[in-house]
Every structure is written in C-alpha cells, then in structure tokens.
Amino acid sequence: MNFDFTEEQQAIRDMAEKFTADEITPNAAEWDVEHTFPRQTLTKAAQLGFGSIYVGEDHGGVGLSRVEAALIIEALAYGCPSTSAFISIHNMATWMIDEFGSDTLRAKYLPKLVTMENIASYCLTEPNAGSDAASLKTRADRDGDEYVLNGTKAFISGGGVNEIYVVMARTDDSSKSGGISCFVVDKDTPGLSFGAQERKLGWHSQPTSSVMFNDCRIPVENMIGKPGDGFKIAMQGLDGGRINIGACSIGGAQRCLDDAVAYVKERIQFGQRIADFQNTQFVLAEMKTKLEAARALLYVAADKVAKAAVDKTQWAAMAKLMATETGSKIVNDALQLHGGYGFLMDFPVERFLRDLRVHEILEGTSQIMKFVIGRELISD
C-alpha cells in the first residue's frame, strides 16, 4: 500500500495551509471572542475551490476526492476548527445536490453554492431525533405540485444565516428509514423560520440555531433523488462528514502539539526549560505517537470512502472515533503543558479545547461510532 500523497495532493495541502496562515490563523481568536461569522473569508476560500470540493468540474466545482477533502479540512482546522467544520458542512450539503439532484436543481443552486455566494446547511437532527436519526418527525406531505413541510430541526449550523437548507423529512409512515426524503429549501420560503442563536461552548465562528417549518411549501422538483431516498443520502453524506470531522480534530490537535512544543522550549522552571524534563518529553512523545496513528487511520478510511469500498462505513466510523477522541486528549495534554497560561484566552489552546469537544458528538457520537463498528463485526 502506498501511503505517499501525489504531487497534486501535496500542492492542494500546501495551498490550504497557506490560506490558513494568511486568512484564518491571524483572525480566529477575534472571531471566537466576538462570535464573528467570517463571510468574507469563506468567499475567499471558495475562490480556491474550497466551497465545491466534491462538485464535478462540469458544474463549476473542483471534483476532488474524500482524501483531498480531508487534507483541506485538516489544514483549515489548524487555524480554526469551527470555520473548517462549517466549510465541511457546506460541502456535504452541496455534494448532495450535485450527486443526487436533478439537472434542474443543479442549474438552479450550484452556481452560487460553488462560489459560496450562497451557503448551504444540512438539516437532519431534531429535538427528539439525534442519534436515532431515522425516527425524525418533520413531515413533507404532497399537495399537487408542492410539498408542505412541517416540523423542527435542531443544532443546525448556519441556521438563520445560510441561504440554502438541505432537509430530511418524512414522506411515508409505513417505513422508518425508507420513509424519509430529501429536499432543498430556500431561506426566503414562506413558513420557514429560525430559533434564537444557540449559546455554545465552542464553534463561535459559526451561527447555530433551530430551523422550523410551518406549512412551508416548496416545489415538487426541489426533492433531491427519489421519494424514500433521503436516509440513504444522509448516511452516505455522513461517511464523508465523519472523515472531515476527524480531520478537523487532527488539524486542531496538530496546532496544539506545535504550540506546546514551542511553549515548553521557552518556559523556565527549577532553573531549566520545561522541555528538558523527561516527563515533558514523555508526554510529548505520547501526543505525537497517538496523533500520527489517528492521522494514518483517517487517511486509510478516507481512501476507502473515496473508492466506495464495501467496508467504508465501518472505517469512517473507526477513523472518526479515534481522531476525535485522540484530538481532544492531545489538546487537553497541550493545555496541561501550558500550565495556568493554557487556561487563559491569550493562548489558542483553550479555544481549541472548546472547539474540538463537540467533534465527539456531532456526525454521530463516539458511542454511535462504536455501535457501527461493532455491528459490522458481528454481521453475517
């Protein structure tokens, strides 16, 4: 097996790292403190193709694989995991329109999504349907040439701000997962409204709210795929989404490891650098080893998802589980090495600690990842 990246992949990673260093890292702390949504930065990212990573070139995108996407997301997360994750979510929703939508939907929505003039949200989770997503209650009932949506989605990144909402809604009560369909809803659609912006531990650079549908009418042609395809589309999207969230954790953990190494080289205690204590070196060694192991697993899994391997879902789950939990552990250790200074907002590590914590919950909790992995192990 070849673990080397191609010249093109290395160039993509270099481009993403430069963009992060120039546009994200210098501003991320302010975005966090001020809860600033960096719209202009997202537009600049789209100019490099980061708003249309999976969209085919014939529709204005860059047509990259899940491996290149993970490289990009990891690099962006080095500066700000919150902003990187937001870009990942936009790409997942945009991919659904490109991959499963009709020519009419592609022509209508992709041009402005590719440039991120319009930004897309992904609406699956509900107040009473989180880990058990197939139990969602939001309905889409057909009425002539329209579907009428009623229900509420929770924890939606971009809620109230983004222009496009890719929504999973129930169209058939006779089947649990098979009765869910997928739709595109415009922000200005009558009957669509939003809750107050959520007050979150981290991810302060992206808005989050509930999304509510009250007799919200959309054209029949706004369905993505066929009736009943929604859950299948959602699960395929989650394979890639789990890879990207894992990449966010890897990127954030790498930043904190680098910062910790720099700090312990400068900090003097008991007459010598903290870096010269054997215990410090042991902690750093463990952080580095676990980070590289998680990164290796992540990119094997990304390759499996890119190639649509039969075991891609299990590998995506393993990668997400290991990357997110390892990432949080590394950031926590980095904060410990900073001592009391790590607890201050003057140092980035406390922001990364807050941002990475949610990665063990979204796109499937760690417990759900274990369920997915274990289910595949015992299946006949």
Strands 120-123 and 164-170: parallel
Phi-psi group of 60: left, alpha or beta (phi > 0 → left; psi -120 to 50 → alpha; rest → beta): left
Report how far residue 271's alpha carbon sits from residue 290's, in angstroms, rounded to the nearest whole number. 30
Strands 208-219 and 223-224: unpaired
Active-site choice (23, 74, 360, 363): 363
Report how far residue 42's alpha carbon sits from residue 26's, in angstroms, rounded to the nearest whole number. 15
CA-wise closest residue to 51 among 111, 102, 124: 111
Residue 363 designated active-site = yes
CA angle 374, 85, 169 (to 5 degrees): 70
Report how far residue 380's alpha carbon sits from residue 84's, in angstroms, rounded to the nearest whole number. 38
Q: List, by residue number, the catalytic residues.
A: 363
